[in-house]
Structure 1
Amino acid sequence: MFDDFYALSGRPFQLTPDPQFFFESATHRKALSYLGYGLSQGEGFIVITGEVGAGKSTLVAHLMRKVDPAQLTVGQIVTSNLDGEELVHVAAQSFGLDIDGHDKASALAAIEGFLHDEARGGRRCLLVVDESQNLRVEALEELRMLSNFQLGSHPLLQTLLLGQPEFKRMLADHPALEQLRQRVIAAHHLEAMGASEIEPYVSHRLQCVGWKGHPAFDQRVFAELFEATGGIPRKVNQLMSRLMLLGAVEQRTRIDAAMLAAVRKEMAGDNVIPAAVPQAGTRTAVPAEEQRHVSTSAEGAAPAAGMEDLLAERDAQIMELRRAIDELANERPANDDLANSEWSARFERMEQRIADQEDAVRHVLTMLIEWFEDASPRAAA
């Protein structure tokens, strides 16, 4: 929705990793240096850790774009609490190997044969293991054993381990992983971006989809983005996506800190999402998980039209309420304290109804945002 309003060629703040949007922050630049050094060694383990959403997968996707498949064959594993035997079979599958039977010996033999064939063809092999913090110790030990495969004195397999901070601690402290620790030739922990990197990061992603300065951004927005996200790229993407959708809905040409504050407030209540457009002063909500399956019929045309109707209705109701307040103000007694108190209470009730109108629209915005952020297939509404 907002990409059309701001004449962008795509979605700049999608949550899935996309190497097209890779931003070389200071910590990512260091990680690339360690990766380059590690890959040049052609053996052992490279370890990259970082918080959830720090950009580990995007970093690897960026690296894979630079890999020459004629020189390096890559297998990738996204783990889910695998034991040792399961890990061996999944490793074989990551290289496209079909294993007859389910025994570990057959899988190991197939992997070794494949690695030998690749080496004779002049290609090195890299196994990328994501979410390594989920691996059991015996699975990590199996990875170490795979690194023993050699052709003469030439190692046949190198492994890149990606994981969250707990994997870094596990690797450093677990007594059973001493032999694996000795084979780590390069390691880096991805830190969050610094406050000064938020504006370049946002600008970079927008420029990747043709941004020409529309919308403009107040400088305070970037400082508060850092405060809200701690510099974690995925959190920045999530907040920016919602912020720009709000800008498109309200047809803003400039994004300011007040809009960001409104989005942050709305996100704080994201545990429930309205099932339908609420009437003034009412809130009907469904769990966020159920709301994700609502369809954006006709590629978002219907939700957009519904928002226009809702905004028009809201504006009319607010104007009516404001006229009522003005009329009350003109009729308000000047000197009677009791009457003044009663009039003040009536003013407060009127103002609360206006606030309820605003809240109702914000809740519908949240529902729309979830529709547009969810790229998975949706059931018909």
Structure 2
Amino acid sequence: MYESYYGFKERPFQLSPDPRFFFATKHHQRALSYLQYGLEQKEGFIVITGPIGTGKTTIARNMLSQISDSDIVAAQLVTTKLSPDELLELVIAEFKISYEGESKADMLKAIESFLISLHEQGKRALLLVDEAQNLPAETVEELRMLSNFQLDNQPLIQSFLLGQEELKAIIQAPNMEQFRQRIIASAHLKPLSVEEVKNYINHRIHQAGHEDEELFSEKAFELIHEKTLGVPRKINIFVDRILLYGFLEELESIDINAINNVAEEMGAELTGSLNSNIEDVTSDENSQRVVNSTENVENIKDVLREIEDILETSIKQKVKMARYVDKLLKQKNKQFAESNINTDKKVED
């Protein structure tokens, strides 16, 4: 919607991971280097952890897009609340392995035959497991057992695990010692600093085709960092809305007033605060607090007022949009009329 207004070829802050928009901070570059190192080693596990929205999946997609080695056959698992047997079924599905039988032994035999077949072709298998913090401990152990498949003293499959911080606790459990010994490298992603937020935003808008360095003021970057805590996914959501606001208000550049207005609008939505702390945990005392009926009534009134504010804001935005569309139509009609006049003159001449 705002793309043509700001000279973008496409939306620069889409949530879907896109390797073309990948921006490597020092933490992201280190994680990517570990993944690449793991590929070169052709064995063991690489573990990348980090808070929600810090770019773990984007790193994996970026690495996959850079794999020019035709000898690597890669598959990615994104559904990970799996039992050991379900994990094997998903591995078979993602690698498109055909097999007969119903038992776990049949699945393992089919996977091993597939891996040996790859090895005989001079290829090897790479398994990326996203959201790995959801894997039960016994399923993580099943992954380790898959890594035991070898031929000519060479591993036939290698796994990369990407997950939130809970994954570290799973791996550090006493019964995970054998798995830990297979990890050849690990990295932890962190939110972006103020300077990194600035570079991240400028990188994405440049990738989308915008060349103006003055679209955001210096204070704007600081405020965006404050509101999002430097989490890339939150930055994408927030800045996308800011650009929409700028388009509706016909702003040439984004200043702190625009950012505060958008933050206020988004704060009124029933989707949680933008700048809620990643590490915040509600205490047991607060979570067990009993609210009396009077407080419930007041809470309901507050929610209704928030809904009213949201509807009012939505109506205002639609009115602005209608005005903008009307403005465009008038410009088009004017251009069309002028074009007809010029055509008539040429005919008369």
2:303 aligned with 1:307? no
Out of 211-220 and 137-146, give the one that drifted further: 211-220
Question: What SS does the corresponding residue of 1:127 show, helix, strand or coil?
Answer: strand
Amino acid of the structure 2 residue aligned with 1:228: K
Q: CA deviation at 1:283?
A: 2.3
Partner of 2:21: 21
CA distance in 2, matches of 1:9, 1:310: 24
Question: What SS does the corresponding residue of 2:251 show, helix, strand or coil?
Answer: coil
1:125-181 Cα distance to aligned partner (Å, 9 max, x none)? 110000001111111111000000001211111100000001112212x12211101
Q: CA deviation at 1:311?
A: 8.6
In the superposition, relative to structure 1, how do residues 188 and 210 fare at CA in structure 2: closer, same or farther (>3 Å)? same
CA distance in 2, matches of 1:86, 1:101: 15
Amino acid of the structure 2 residue aligned with 1:244: L
Contact 2:265 2:310 in 1 (8 A): no
Contact 1:6 1:215 in 2 (8 A): no
CA distance in 2, matches of 1:263, 1:304: 12
In the superposition, relative to structure 1, how do residues 69 and 101 fare at CA in structure 2: closer, same or farther (>3 Å)? farther
Contact 1:15 1:234 in 2 (8 A): yes
Q: CA deviation at 1:100?
A: 3.0
Contact 1:44 1:147 in 2 (8 A): yes
Q: CA deviation at 1:79?
A: 2.2
CA distance in 2, matches of 1:170, 1:197: 31
2:266 aligned with 1:267? yes
Contact 1:215 1:252 in 2 (8 A): no
Partner of 1:57: 57
Question: What SS does the corresponding residue of 1:198 show, helix, strand or coil?
Answer: helix
Partner of 1:212: 211
Question: What SS does the corresponding residue of 1:102 show, helix, strand or coil?
Answer: coil
Partner of 1:76: 76
CA distance in 1, matches of 2:213, 2:223: 20
Contact 1:6 1:214 in 2 (8 A): no
CA distance in 2, matches of 1:102, 1:271: 46
Mark the runs of 5 or more structure 1 residues left unpaired by the alignment. 273-280, 292-302, 313-381
Contact 2:137 2:170 in 1 (8 A): no
CA distance in 1, matches of 2:226, 2:132: 29
Contact 1:50 1:189 in 2 (8 A): yes
Amino acid of the structure 1 residue aligned with 2:2: F
Q: What pairs up with 1:1-381 in 2 under 5 angstroms?
A: 1-172=1-172, 174-213=173-212, 216-271=215-270, 283=308, 306-309=319-322
Question: What SS does the corresponding residue of 1:32 show, helix, strand or coil?
Answer: helix
Partner of 1:368: none
Contact 2:80 2:130 in 1 (8 A): no
Contact 2:54 2:191 in 1 (8 A): yes
Amino acid of the structure 2 residue aligned with 1:188: A
Amino acid of the structure 1 residue aligned with 2:130: D
Aligned length: 288
1:261-280 Cα distance to aligned partner (Å, 9 max, x none)? 111111112117xxxxxxxx
CA distance in 2, matches of 1:246, 1:108: 54
Q: CA deviation at 1:62?
A: 0.6
Contact 1:84 1:138 in 2 (8 A): yes
CA distance in 2, matches of 1:232, 1:282: 27
Q: CA deviation at 1:80?
A: 3.6
Q: CA deviation at 1:195?
A: 1.5
1:83-132 Cα distance to aligned partner (Å, 9 max, x none)? 11111111111111133343211211111111111111111211000000
Question: What SS does the corresponding residue of 2:82 show, helix, strand or coil?
Answer: coil
1:172-203 Cα distance to aligned partner (Å, 9 max, x none)? 2x122111011000100111111111111101
Contact 1:97 1:110 in 2 (8 A): yes
Contact 1:8 1:211 in 2 (8 A): yes
Contact 1:50 1:56 in 2 (8 A): yes
Partner of 2:328: none
Mark the runs of 5 or more structure 2 residues left unpaired by the alignment. 272-305, 326-349
Contact 2:215 2:254 in 1 (8 A): yes
Question: What SS does the corresponding residue of 2:127 show, helix, strand or coil?
Answer: strand
Partner of 2:284: none
Partner of 1:344: none
Question: What SS does the corresponding residue of 1:93 show, helix, strand or coil?
Answer: helix
Q: CA deviation at 1:4?
A: 1.9
CA distance in 2, matches of 1:259, 1:29: 32
Amino acid of the structure 2 residue aligned with 1:154: Q
Cα-Cα RMSD: 2.3
Q: CA deviation at 1:308?
A: 3.6
